A and B are shown apart, each in its own frame.
Chain A
Amino acid sequence: MSKKYTIRKGLNLPLFGDPIKELKASKFVSNYAIRPSEFIGLKPKLAVKVGDEVKAGQTILFDKKNERIKIPSPISGEISAIQRGPKRRLDQIVIRANEKCEYLNFGDKTALKKDEIKNKLLESGAWTLLKMRPYGCLANPDDSPKAIFINGMGSDPFASKPGFSLKGKEELFSRGLEVLKQLSDRTILSIAQDEKSDTLTNANDIEIHRFHGPHPSGNTSVHISRVSPLNKGEVIWTIAAQDVAIIGKLFESGELHLDRTIAAGGAGMKNPQYYLVRGGQSMKTFFSKETKEGNYRYISGSVLSGEDIGKEGYLGFLAKQVSVIPEGENTDFLGWVLPGFNKYSFSKAYFSWLFPNRKYNLTTKLHGEERAFVVTGQYDKVFPFDILPNQLLKSIWAEDIEKMEELGIYEIIPEDFALCEVICTSKQPLQEMVRKGLDILYNEMN
């Protein structure tokens, strides 16, 4: 069964720095870090202390609420620091890596039953590759999801294309699919209309749907909304196609290998292309070697919803891409009055619309100040859901739980509002608001 869906509403930002499909291996990296804040819904409890030797796959943290959920070490080495923020909040656990990575073994590749699979995923920490809807947080192993959605697309700016990232991992990917199929009645893989990679198109015995159109056509929420909309009380698990191969590797070799082929794009990259890296690794050497000199923003993830990690930061545990774009620097004399031939806008309020095919070197500039919600109807143009974005945001603002539910907050996660946030006239922090709304509901329900 395969269906095609065309997404009409959306926007591909015309940015410089699209990664070309060439792979570069990166060198040995000596520092890794686990940042608990990356795992939404996690109440972290340490399983290690400074000086401990760990192997790749060994538990670093577990969830206080559900101790079966474990955050694994991506590498073998020694815990060199445990950094805390205000109120003793755990900021990051730093691991100094050994030259040669040793992996903890989680058992052979004999066929397993559903519960044994779950246990193996949980024990190895590979469980953290799964997320759940609603909330977009860590999946709860006690739920029984109505479906698992595997995202085999990338429509974010500079996104890594799974067809390329999975090259050489064909068998691991299909092994991973077999494993995931055991966990739910329905497993759905969504891929791009023009996807040619056999790995994805020939995945056997699985529902494959093709999506076409501008971003956010590659967002899992869009796939869910078209294929099997999420209703109140239902649960869906989601996972990225690249991570399916990691699960495949785990069940093939018994070891957790968190290395991925990620895309690195943006005007700040010397050569925007693909790199072989590992989740949680220090990006210090990478950025100093591969990016241009200057004042840039270093983002783990996409420019739409990634995290600013700084030049010496650590790659996200689940990151599939990094983006490096210039920081905005100067004020703009009478910028709001002048024709603005070189100002990118989704609206046609600046005369840059005269050059529709131009690409831009967009900076992180806000282009204005935060204002009250005034303009209506603009979000709808980039928001391909049967959800009223303004009304939903206002219900979150009012912390009206009932209205949030009624207006469909369960069907989205912050990244779905990223484009709305980009084009927002009033510069409102929409993703932050949506996360807040989801947190309110999560705390109410759990």
Chain B
Amino acid sequence: MKFIQNIFDASRPAVTSGKFKPLYPLHNALETMMFVPDHNAKSGAHVRDAIDLKRTMITVIFALVPALIFGIYNSGYQHNKALGLLNSAVGWLQFFTWENFLFGALKIIPMIIVTYIAGLGVEIYFAYRNKHAVNEGFLVSGLLIPMTMPIDMPLWMIAISTIFAVLIGKEVFGGTGMNILNPALTARAFAFFAYPSFMSGDKVWINATLGPGEALVDGYSGATALGQFATTGSTTFSAWDAFLGIIPGSIGETSTILILLGGIYLIATGIGSWKIMFSSLLGAITISLIFNAVAPSMISPEQQGFLSIPFYFHLVFGSWAFSTVFMATDPVSAAHTERGKWIYGFFIGFLGIMIRVFNPAYPEGMMLAILFMNVMAPLIDHYVVEGNIKRRLKRLKLSVN
């Protein structure tokens, strides 16, 4: 490792005083990635926990990787299935194939690279401008953004959405730790409203580009389960397939089981808030049960159908799981108080499913629900904090009397 250290040592003068000064944050970021620095505690406690922001972020990435790899296979699988290239008799066994992986990887890895370059570019610029080190938050955002996109999203759109999210979603508020909205979802929302034809409808979730001599299978629609529910009130996908993840959707959102695995890892490591995840589950179940109860009074049969689906359908189809585990738990944009997290999480689940079912313009409601609750989180916190202050005042009054 000595020679790597030597490279950093040799190049340091150029970025600290030389003409490459603007590159100092990049140099520092790369160096501290290779070597956790030997800084010692100067004031306060003399011993410190081994955890730092880098470890926190890499832990989230560890949790994301299974769903990401699955998404790579699934993109290829959905493509090859649409083209009728799979032997349907073997179905499952044709999922984890080299062809599927290669197809997905060639699509998705460029998306990831573009996101990181665009986002970290902005981050490094602001680190230089405001003279601080590059914060690691974007390590996760940079992976989340492509995972929430449809497979055919053009790279330049991803780049622009990412830059918008980091700039307007984060840096204008003062950078990492200060943002109100979840940066990854800000990017997605930007893409959703700026390029709706690439982000919604039935045609974007499966790559159905035809090569010479290829043709789509008979009866191919490309619709997602939620799209089907919204139009017909039922779906052709099974809940089991959705739980495993072999359905069309955004790249990372489909496999409930692997997201669940990531969620368990985040809870076990203490990095993700179980309170938010659990209360989002409660919120989703609550609204589903309410829907089940009122379904018969709906007029249209589609609505009746959609409202009467069992609650676990809502958990496996669409992005409830992905959003709950990876988006809602972003500590900066979530409620900061522990009590607040219960309310915040509950309403994410509750509103997410509600928008999904009732608003035909947005077949998936989780993105809007989380962004809305991001905005509401400070208000929730305000009341929790007021409660704490009131308890203190009450004690004071008691002691005076």
Question: Measuring CB to CB, which residues of chain A are less than 8 angstroms from any residue of chain B?
Answer: 13, 15, 229, 231-234, 297, 299, 303-306, 308, 323, 325, 327-337, 340, 343-350, 352, 362-378, 380, 386-388, 390-391, 406-408, 414, 418-419, 421-427, 429-432
- Of all chain A residues, the one with the shortest Cβ separation from B5 is A331
Question: In the complex, A231→B394 CA distance in Å?
Answer: 10
Set of chain A residues within 8 Å of B399, measured between Cβ atoms: 231, 234
Set of chain B residues within 8 Å of A340, measured between Cβ atoms: 50, 55
Given the known inter-chain contacts A371-B133, A388-B385, please indicate yes or no for A346 contacting B49, CB distance below 8 A. yes
From residue B135, how far is it (CB to closest CB) to chain A in Å? Answer: 6
**Pairs A-B, 8 closest by C-beta atoms:** A368-B52, A372-B177, A343-B50, A335-B36, A431-B44, A331-B35, A332-B36, A336-B54
Question: Measuring CB to CB, which residues of chain B are less than 8 angstroms from any residue of chain A?
Answer: 1, 4-5, 32-56, 58-59, 133, 135-137, 175-178, 268-271, 273, 331-332, 334, 336-338, 341, 381, 384-385, 388-389, 391-393, 395-396, 399
Given the known inter-chain contacts A371-B176, A406-B389, please indicate yes or no for A349 contacting B47, CB distance below 8 A. no
Q: List 15 A-B contacts (CB under 8 A).
A: A328-B39, A328-B40, A348-B268, A368-B37, A371-B136, A374-B53, A374-B176, A374-B331, A375-B56, A386-B391, A388-B337, A407-B389, A424-B48, A429-B42, A429-B43
Question: In the complex, A114→B272 CA distance in Å?
Answer: 56
Whether A374 and B385, one on each chain, are in contact in the complex, defined by CB atoms closer than 8 angstroms, is no
Set of chain A residues within 8 Å of B40, measured between Cβ atoms: 327-328, 363-366
From residue B208, how far is it (CB to closest CB) to chain A in Å? Answer: 38
Overall SS of chain A's interface? loop
Whether B51 and A372, one on each chain, are in contact in the complex, defined by CB atoms closer than 8 angstroms, is no
Whether B50 and A425, one on each chain, are in contact in the complex, defined by CB atoms closer than 8 angstroms, is no
Set of chain A residues within 8 Å of B384, measured between Cβ atoms: 388
Whether A345 and B38, one on each chain, are in contact in the complex, defined by CB atoms closer than 8 angstroms, is no
Whether B49 and A347, one on each chain, are in contact in the complex, defined by CB atoms closer than 8 angstroms, is yes
From residue B184, how far is it (CB to closest CB) to chain A in Å? Answer: 14
Set of chain A residues within 8 Å of B392, measured between Cβ atoms: 231, 386, 406-408
What would 19 more interface pairs be, CB under 8 Å, given A331-B36, A348-B268, A374-B53?
Answer: A15-B47, A308-B46, A335-B35, A348-B269, A362-B47, A365-B40, A371-B136, A374-B332, A375-B271, A377-B273, A377-B338, A388-B385, A388-B388, A390-B337, A418-B44, A421-B45, A425-B51, A425-B55, A427-B48
Whether B396 and A387, one on each chain, are in contact in the complex, defined by CB atoms closer than 8 angstroms, is no
Set of chain B residues within 8 Å of A229, measured between Cβ atoms: 395
Question: In the complex, A336→B62 CA distance in Å?
Answer: 12
Residue in contact with B270 in the complex, picked from A349, A388, A426, CB distance below 8 Å: A349
Question: In the complex, A391→B52 CA distance in Å?
Answer: 21
From residue B386, how far is it (CB to closest CB) to chain A in Å? Answer: 9
Set of chain A residues within 8 Å of B36, measured between Cβ atoms: 331-332, 334-336, 367-368
In the complex, which of the residues A327, A344, A371 has the most CB atoms of chain B within 10 Å of its own CB atom?
A: A371
- Of all chain A residues, the one with the shortest Cβ separation from B337 is A388
Whether A299 and B34, one on each chain, are in contact in the complex, defined by CB atoms closer than 8 angstroms, is no
Residue in contact with A325 in the complex, picked from B33, B35, B46, B389, CB distance below 8 Å: B46
From residue A200, how far is it (CB to closest CB) to chain B in Å? Answer: 28
Whether A231 and B47, one on each chain, are in contact in the complex, defined by CB atoms closer than 8 angstroms, is no
From residue B100, how far is it (CB to closest CB) to chain A in Å? Answer: 28
Whether B269 and A349, one on each chain, are in contact in the complex, defined by CB atoms closer than 8 angstroms, is yes
- Of all chain B residues, the one with the shortest Cβ separation from A434 is B44
Question: In the complex, A337→B55 CA distance in Å?
Answer: 7
From residue A106, how far is it (CB to closest CB) to chain B in Å? Answer: 36
Whether B176 and A422, one on each chain, are in contact in the complex, defined by CB atoms closer than 8 angstroms, is no
From residue A346, how far is it (CB to closest CB) to chain B in Å? Answer: 5
Set of chain A residues within 8 Å of B388, measured between Cβ atoms: 386-388, 391, 407-408
Given the known inter-chain contacts A331-B5, A349-B270, A388-B337, please indicate yes or no for A425 contacting B52, CB distance below 8 A. yes
Whether A432 and B44, one on each chain, are in contact in the complex, defined by CB atoms closer than 8 angstroms, is yes
Question: In the complex, A305→B44 CA distance in Å?
Answer: 6
Whether B1 and A333, one on each chain, are in contact in the complex, defined by CB atoms closer than 8 angstroms, is yes
Set of chain B residues within 8 Å of A419, measured between Cβ atoms: 45
Question: In the complex, A432→B381 CA distance in Å?
Answer: 25
Residue in contact with A367 in the complex, picked from B5, B48, B269, CB distance below 8 Å: B48
From residue B339, how far is it (CB to closest CB) to chain A in Å? Answer: 10
Set of chain B residues within 8 Å of A334, measured between Cβ atoms: 33-36
Set of chain A residues within 8 Å of B137, measured between Cβ atoms: 374
Question: In the complex, A425→B338 CA distance in Å?
Answer: 17
Whether A380 and B270, one on each chain, are in contact in the complex, defined by CB atoms closer than 8 angstroms, is no
Whether A372 and B391, one on each chain, are in contact in the complex, defined by CB atoms closer than 8 angstroms, is no
Whether B385 and A369, one on each chain, are in contact in the complex, defined by CB atoms closer than 8 angstroms, is no
Set of chain B residues within 8 Å of A364, measured between Cβ atoms: 40-41, 46-48
Whether A347 and B52, one on each chain, are in contact in the complex, defined by CB atoms closer than 8 angstroms, is no
Set of chain B residues within 8 Å of A370, measured between Cβ atoms: 133
In the complex, which of the residues B1, B33, B45, B341 has the most CB atoms of chain A within 10 Å of its own CB atom?
A: B45
Question: In the complex, A348→B331 CA distance in Å?
Answer: 17
Whether A432 and B50, one on each chain, are in contact in the complex, defined by CB atoms closer than 8 angstroms, is no
Whether B50 and A426, one on each chain, are in contact in the complex, defined by CB atoms closer than 8 angstroms, is no
Set of chain B residues within 8 Å of A421, measured between Cβ atoms: 44-45, 48
Set of chain A residues within 8 Å of B50, measured between Cβ atoms: 335, 340, 343-345, 350, 352, 367
Question: In the complex, A408→B388 CA distance in Å?
Answer: 9
Set of chain B residues within 8 Å of A337, measured between Cβ atoms: 58
Set of chain A residues within 8 Å of B55, measured between Cβ atoms: 336, 340, 345, 349-350, 368, 425
Whether A431 and B45, one on each chain, are in contact in the complex, defined by CB atoms closer than 8 angstroms, is yes
Set of chain A residues within 8 Å of B175, measured between Cβ atoms: 372
From residue B204, how far is it (CB to closest CB) to chain A in Å? Answer: 33
Set of chain B residues within 8 Å of A422, measured between Cβ atoms: 45, 47-49
Set of chain B residues within 8 Å of A390, measured between Cβ atoms: 336-337
Set of chain B residues within 8 Å of A372, measured between Cβ atoms: 135, 175-178
Set of chain B residues within 8 Å of A373, measured between Cβ atoms: 177
